[in-house]
């Protein structure tokens, strides 16, 4: 080491800088995967991520009365919390391009106020990108008083570009307890 | 080791020797001392992790719950994996790298000796923190070494200790890897071009790059877990708009390269040993280098084969299935090259060669079961069964661990100047090989029949194979006491070894005396 030339020392320093910066960048890359994952899911409709559009946009859509798609509603409760949660109607027949509204009914069975958050998912994946909601209780947190029962509306429209072989779409909500209100 | 230290001092007539007393080990910057520390540390942790495995196997000896509570059983499966991967196997390979790389490339020491000291001495503290979780409120982590949320977020007081231990272990191995890359790039003897480097150097060179690329990603993932639990972020919490499946993607982006981090140095070791005892040069040297590089590259694009059942679109499942199966090509090249090296060689079967041949055969068995698991449709049945357990234990125990043992037998005469007891070494090999197969082979059968992994109880139809497996586990565990005995005995004394040690050995390390001087190659050799 002692008899190494100064040039060698300089190239060593350059190499070490690269070798130390690289792991730092990779640490950042780990975090970068979070937005990349979201973008990837949005673009592909993977993970059942649905779109949101304004009601003005929805009303401008051409209604395709030649097609009828069956929408199934399901609900589930995350393990924490004491809830009753169900769709008001189990299925609905819809035309692509036309907005529809349905409701989900939630009952807070606890004797205290609580804040909930519902997370939607749509299957099949190829339909998810064409399933747009103009209004949904899942857009915001919902506060429930003790023992409160409430009907929560969702308004959606299935885009006319939904693939031809899709004749059935399932919209599922999972209700999470965020924190006692 | 003190006897060895004295021996060193006698040899060192032209250089200052090591410092005296225990402070030598704390403050040492010598690559041989640090290599020795890594290797003994790893051996100790091998027994800690092994004891945990025996708790698991003892509970599984019979159906029903006999010995431990299910929660503690889960702590054992989780800690066994963490200890064996991060505290036993990885330090063993880093220890071998420390001892061997400078001697193999004709360098006086590692490029960054002080950082080398630091890389090692972080380890005992990180390990103490990880092992101390066994004694805190709520017990050790029990959600599996993969730390999937939301389950892992239910860990008690052990949770931050787990996260910070992973951070420290990551820092330790990143520093070790930077040191290895800097050593290999800047300190090779004149004339040693990249394509003249011994394969152990090559495989570690590539492994070190995998480490600095993926350990930070793991550090990021566990930091997200930490902030999710304590600082109200929602990276993996669905209620807050996050996604627990995303953790699996980030984790396995680290995790799959990690499994090659555990096997590539093993490839290097076996590629050093087989030519020596076959008395032929390695068949297909350059194809070995390219195969290693290909495996390293492919390791970054196959991660989702660990999560075929989370609900991926069929296109993704096909991509990850084919990409995974593609890895069989460079791996097959390696196995063919090892066999071709042995073909028509004048083979002898000393202990290192036995372990190396055992590696080739049993690693290949593990590779084939891996190929079966790569098939998406059948993986839906195999996922999270004992078939998976059998697969990765075949590649890690008679695979990676056998390679470390082969290396220990092969180089310990060089390190200490003493020959190990050949008769005992062969006995150790045969005991290990017989018992490791009794231990893991039946797990293929119970796995195919549907026995889930990480469960302390099981249906009675699995009872016979589990009893056999447990007998194999205790036989294998006890055989390793023999290994520790042989290593300690050789470190203390024994028949003197020559400089060459092995008749057919090639490489710069064999041109040094046995044991080598405290500072080797202060004048670099010239490679023609």
Query: For residue range B188-237, what is the model confidence (pLDDT) as tens digits?
Result: 999 999 999 999 999 999 999 999 999 999 999 999 999 999 998 989 98
Partner-chain contact B250 A33, CB within 8 Å: yes
First vs last C-alpha separation in chain A: 66
Those residues of chain A whose CB sits closer than 8 Å to some CB in chain B are: 1, 8, 11-12, 15-16, 19-20, 22-31, 33-34, 37, 44, 46-47, 78, 117, 119, 125, 174, 176-178
Q: Where in B169-315 does DSSP place strands (E)?
A: none
> DSSP class of residue A160?
T
With CB atoms and an 8 Å threshold, state whether A27 touches B213: no
Distance CA A117, CA A115 (A): 7
Give yes or no for a cis peptide into B391 (omega within 30° of 0). Answer: no
| pLDDT tier for residue B11 given thresholds of 50, 70 and 90 | very low
Token pair for B359: 């590696």
Using the beta-carbon criterion (under 8 Å), do B178 and A19 form an inter-chain contact?
yes
In the block, which residue shows the tokens 């082969």?
B406
Residue spans of the domains in chain B: they are 28-498+507-511
CATH class of B28-498+507-511: mainly alpha
Alpha carbons B203 and B213: distance in angstroms, whole number:
15
Chain-chain contact of A23 with B216 (C-beta, under 8 angstroms): yes
pLDDT recorded at residue B304: 95
Give the whole-angstrom CA distance, residue A25 versus residue A123: 36
> pLDDT digits over B439-480, tens only?
999 999 999 999 999 999 999 999 999 999 999 999 999 999
The answer to whether the peptide bond before residue B348 is cis (omega within 30 degrees of 0) is no
* Residue-wise pLDDT tens digits, B240-278: 878 899 999 999 999 999 999 999 999 999 999 999 999
Backbone dihedral region for residue B392 (phi beyond 0: left; psi -120 to 50: alpha; all else: beta): alpha
Q: Dihedral of CA B346/B349/B352/B357: which sign?
A: positive
The per-residue DSSP string of B61-110 comes to: TSSS--SS-HHHHHHHHHHHHHIIIIIIIHHHHHHHHHHHHHHHHT-SS-
Over residues B324-334, the pLDDT tens digits come to: 999 999 999 99
Q: How would residue A140 be classed by pLDDT, with cut points 50, 70 and 90?
A: confident
Work out the mean pLDDT of chain A and round it to a whole number.
85
Complex-level ipTM = 0.86
3-state helix, strand, coil in chain A (%, to 5): 30, 40, 30
- Candidates B495, B502, B390; CA nearest to B451 is B390
Quickly tell me which residue has 């893991």 as its tokens. B440
- Lookup: tokens for B152: 């892992």
DSSP, collapsed to helix, strand or coil, labels residue B363 as: helix
Measured between alpha carbons, how far is residue A29 from residues A22, A35, A47, A62 in Å?
10, 10, 22, 43
3-state secondary structure B268-307: HHHHHHHHHHHCCCCCCHHHHHHHHHHHHHHHHHCHHHHC
Residues of A in contact with B233 (CB under 8 A): none
Backbone φ and ψ of B481, nearest 5°:
-60, -35
Across A137-164, average pLDDT: 88
Could you list the active site residues of B? Answer: 80, 109, 145, 172-173, 256, 258, 260, 271, 305-306, 331, 334, 453
pLDDT tens for B408-449 read 999 999 999 999 999 999 999 999 999 999 999 999 999 999
């Amino acid at each position: 080491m002692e008899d190494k030339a100064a040039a060698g020392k300089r190239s060593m320093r350059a190499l070490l800088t690269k070798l130390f910066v690289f792991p730092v960048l990779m640490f950042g890359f780990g975090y970068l995967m979070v937005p990349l994952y979201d973008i990837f899911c949005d673009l592909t409709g993977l993970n059942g991520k649905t779109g949101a559009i304004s009601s003005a946009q929805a009303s401008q859509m051409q209604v395709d009365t030649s097609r009828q798609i069956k929408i199934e509603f399901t609900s589930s409760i995350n393990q924490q919390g004491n809830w009753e949660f169900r769709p008001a109607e189990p299925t609905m027949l819809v035309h692509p391009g036309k907005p529809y509204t349905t409701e989900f009914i939630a009952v807070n069975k606890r004797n205290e106020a609580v804040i909930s958050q519902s997370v939607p998912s749509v299957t099949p994946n190829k339909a998810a990108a064409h399933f747009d909601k103009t209004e949904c209780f899942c857009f915001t947190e919902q506060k429930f008083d003790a023992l409160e029962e409430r009907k929560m509306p969702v308004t959606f429209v299935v885009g006319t570009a939904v693939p031809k072989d899709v004749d059935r779409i399932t919209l599922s909500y999972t209700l999470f307890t965020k924190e006692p209100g | 080791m003190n006897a060895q230290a004295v021996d060193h001092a006698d040899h060192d007539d032209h250089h200052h020797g090591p410092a005296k007393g225990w402070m030598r080990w704390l403050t040492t910057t010598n690559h041989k001392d640090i290599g020795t520390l890594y290797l003994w540390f790893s051996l100790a942790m091998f027994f800690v992790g092994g004891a945990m495995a025996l708790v698991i196997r003892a509970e599984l000896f019979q159906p029903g719950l006999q010995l431990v509570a299910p929660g503690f059983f889960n702590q054992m499966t989780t800690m066994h994996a963490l200890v064996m991967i991060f505290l036993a196997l990885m330090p063993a390979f880093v220890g071998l790298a420390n001892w061997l790389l400078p001697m193999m490339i004709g360098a006086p020491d590692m490029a960054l000796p002080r950082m080398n000291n630091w890389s090692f001495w972080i380890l005992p503290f990180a390990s103490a923190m990880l092992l101390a979780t066994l004694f805190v409120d709520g017990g050790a982590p029990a959600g599996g070494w993969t730390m999937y949320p939301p389950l892992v977020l239910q860990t008690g007081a052990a949770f931050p200790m787990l996260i910070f231990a992973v951070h420290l272990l990551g820092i330790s191995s990143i520093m070790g890897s930077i040191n290895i890359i800097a050593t290999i790039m800047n300190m090779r003897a004149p004339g040693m071009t990249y394509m003249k480097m011994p394969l152990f150097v090559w495989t570690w060179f590539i492994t070190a790059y995998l480490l600095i690329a993926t350990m930070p990603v793991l550090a990021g993932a566990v930091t997200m877990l930490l902030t999710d639990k304590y600082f109200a972020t929602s990276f993996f919490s669905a209620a807050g708009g996050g996604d627990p499946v995303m953790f699996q993607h980030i984790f396995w982006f680290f995790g799959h390269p990690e499994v090659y981090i555990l096997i590539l140095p093993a490839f290097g070791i076996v590629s050093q040993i087989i030519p020596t005892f076959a008395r032929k040069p390695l068949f297909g040297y350059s194809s070995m280098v390219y195969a290693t590089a290909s495996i390293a590259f492919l390791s970054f694009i196959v991660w989702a084969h660990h999560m075929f059942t989370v609900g991926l679109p069929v296109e993704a499942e096909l991509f990850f299935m084919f990409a995974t199966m593609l890895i069989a090509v460079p791996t097959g090249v390696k196995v063919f090259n090892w066999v071709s090296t042995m073909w028509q060689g004048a083979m002898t079967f000393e202990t290192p060669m036995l372990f190396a041949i055992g590696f080739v055969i049993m690693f290949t068995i593990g590779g084939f079961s891996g190929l079966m698991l790569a098939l998406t449709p059948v993986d839906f049945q195999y996922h999270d069964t004992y078939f998976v357990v059998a697969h990765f234990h075949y590649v890690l125990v008679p695979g990676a661990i056998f390679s470390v043992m082969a290396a220990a037998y092969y180089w310990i005469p060089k390190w200490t100047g003493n020959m190990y007891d050949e008769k005992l070494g062969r006995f150790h090999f045969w005991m290990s090989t017989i018992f490791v197969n009794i231990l893991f082979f039946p797990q293929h059968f119970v796995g195919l029949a549907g026995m889930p992994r990480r469960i302390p109880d099981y249906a009675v139809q699995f009872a016979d194979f589990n009893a056999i497996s447990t007998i194999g586990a205790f036989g294998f565990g006890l055989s390793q006491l023999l290994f520790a005995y042989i290593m300690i005995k050789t470190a203390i004394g024994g028949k003197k070894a020559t400089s060459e040690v092995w008749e057919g050995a090639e490489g710069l390390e064999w041109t040094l005396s046995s044991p080598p001087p405290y500072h080797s190659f202060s004048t670099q050799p010239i490679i023609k």
